[in-house]
Amino acid sequence: MAHQALWSGRFREPLSEIALNFSSSIDLDRLLYEEDIAGSIAHVEMLAAAKVLTAAEGRRIRTALKTIKKEIESGKAPLTAGTAEDIHMAVEQRLIQKLGPLGGKLHTGRSRNDQIALDERLYLRSAIRDISKLLVNLQRVVLYKAEKYFGVIMPGYTHLQRAQPVMLSHHLLAYIGMLERDFERLQDCRRRLNKSPLGAAALAGTSFPLDRTMVARRLEFDGIVENSIDAVSDRDYLLEFIAACSILMMHLSRFAEELVIWSSTEFGTVHISDAYTTGSSIMPQKKNPDMAELVRGKTGRVYGALISLLTTMKGLPLAYNRDMQEDKLPMFETVQTTRQCVYMFSHLLVHTTFDKNRMAEELRTDFLTATDMADYLVRNGVPFRDAHTITGSVVSYCVGHRMYFGNLDLETLKSFSPVFEADVFKFILPQASIEEKRSAGSTAPDEVKKQIVHWTTVLSKRRV
């Protein structure tokens, strides 16, 4: 059946069913019904204040819009393909059904171009608040683990090769710092997107005496997008949001990767609760870290959303183009995926334990304090480059004789350098290694305590 659109006045033929189904976005943007109706109510109140509508007309339209919202929520006014092209037309059509010609006055002085920009900004503002709350909760979980395992020493890695001893707490706190920058990026994004585009109309503004600032205040925006063309023709606020979420997901993915690796038999330093792992359909012994793997895998969805929208926008002339309708799926995909993954990761981490005994064994059977041995030589007058070479020779000797630093005696060490004395052995213990660190922000226990105190203060005061 042919579709009769609200914009069909200049057309001789109605939009075909094929074209309607191809161009309709109602299946996606129906998720914006709350934002669309909130924007419409603010718009109508402003029209009444500006005398474009009478006070009585404004009240009738506002009441009907609130009723339509309840109808949508209860299912009495289903928003499905074929009912309208998009959420804007669906709400307006329903309003006209209720109020007759008066309902047609809702759209005075605005366009779907500024409507959708408004709806998206309202939606993203709410999404940023939700994700930020989840992000702060995840930081608190990481902080709890850092406090719980304070004093546990683990092998630190570079190139996925054992490097130096570090406190497990120090390693975990590194992720709090990363997540903090993710939080800050989201707040910066919210600040930039929190401007109202409504009143820009299609691109040139309108001849009606609209009070754009009044609408912005009613919707709790910080102001208006000043240029009417800019207001409807860009999606940089959405790109910035997806980019921030992409970086956040990258951090989650790296953390997830470590849990996957550390929970393997080869590492065995992490144990994830049965409630957050799965088994194999064929191998009865398997315990798979699927939740961590899924967080790692879902990161690609958010990356894909970013590339998709960047590609959509890169060649568009000003102002609005229908290509921009394709921004909904990347937006919704990013919000849903990021929200789910941050929430899941918090629960996953709560139900993850770290094996301090296995970590201690890994520290004992390796050469993680080689740098400390070189530093010992430097403190006793040996140039660092020479100390590096000497220590490397000691390591090579141990590898060739299938032994570790703990198996060496002073006589053997002196064969490499006469500078070695008996006190070297206390400097090449993992505990001594971390306690000897002096630089700010290092893995020294006192420095790690400072970090814990800092984040405890920051996160206890944080309100989103």
Residue-wise pLDDT for 330-340, tens only, equals 999 999 999 99
Burial class (CB in 10 A: 0-12, 13-18, 19+), 18: exposed
Within a domain: residue 341? yes
**What span, in angstroms and rounded, lies between the C-alpha atoms of 398 and 402?**
6
Report the pLDDT averaged over residues 170-175: 98
Tokens for 413? 């060490």
Average the pLDDT over each of 309-318, 364-373, 391-400 and give the range with the smallest value. 364-373
CATH number for the domain harbouring residue 126: 1.20.200.10
The mean pLDDT of the chain is 94
Establish whether the linkage from the previous residue to 127 is cis, with ω within 30° of 0: no
Within a domain: residue 6? no
Catalytic residue, chosen from 74, 159, 207, 439, is 159
Q: Fill in the DSSP letter of residue 319.
A: S
Within a domain: residue 155? no
Q: Evaluate whether 414 touches 420 at the Cβ level (below 8 Å).
A: yes
Tell me the CA end-to-end span of the chain in Å, nearest whole number: 49
Residue-wise pLDDT for 342-351, tens only, equals 999 999 999 9
Q: Reply yes or no on whether 159 is catalytic.
A: yes
The verdict on 136 and 239 lying in the same domain is yes
Within a domain: residue 348? yes
211 CB neighbour count, 10 Å cutoff: 15
Catalytic residue, chosen from 23, 264, 280, 415, is 280
Residue-wise pLDDT for 95-130, tens only, equals 999 999 999 999 999 999 999 999 999 999 999 999
257 CB neighbour count, 10 Å cutoff: 14
Within a domain: residue 7? no
**Three-state secondary-structure class, residue 86:** coil
Name the pTM for this structure: 0.92
Within a domain: residue 450? yes
Tokens for 24? 């309709």
The verdict on 340 and 366 lying in the same domain is no
Residue-wise pLDDT for 420-442, tens only, equals 999 999 899 999 999 999 999 99
Tokens for 173? 């706190």
**Residue whose entry in the numeric block shows the structure tokens 């309840």:** 70
* Confidence (pLDDT) at 1: 38
The verdict on 33 and 180 lying in the same domain is no
Q: Reply yes or no on whether 280 is catalytic.
A: yes
**Structure confidence at residue 23 as a pLDDT band (50, 70, 90):** confident
The verdict on 351 and 370 lying in the same domain is no
Within a domain: residue 3? no
**Structure confidence at residue 396 as a pLDDT band (50, 70, 90):** very high
**What span, in angstroms and rounded, lies between the C-alpha atoms of 55 and 49?**
8
**Structure confidence at residue 221 as a pLDDT band (50, 70, 90):** very high
The verdict on 451 and 419 lying in the same domain is yes
Burial class (CB in 10 A: 0-12, 13-18, 19+), 412: middle
Within a domain: residue 453? yes
The verdict on 235 and 91 lying in the same domain is no
Q: Residue 59's domain spans which residues? A: 17-108
Residue-wise pLDDT for 190-207, tens only, equals 999 999 999 999 999 999
Overall domain count for the chain:
3
The verdict on 414 and 351 lying in the same domain is no
* Confidence (pLDDT) at 2: 43
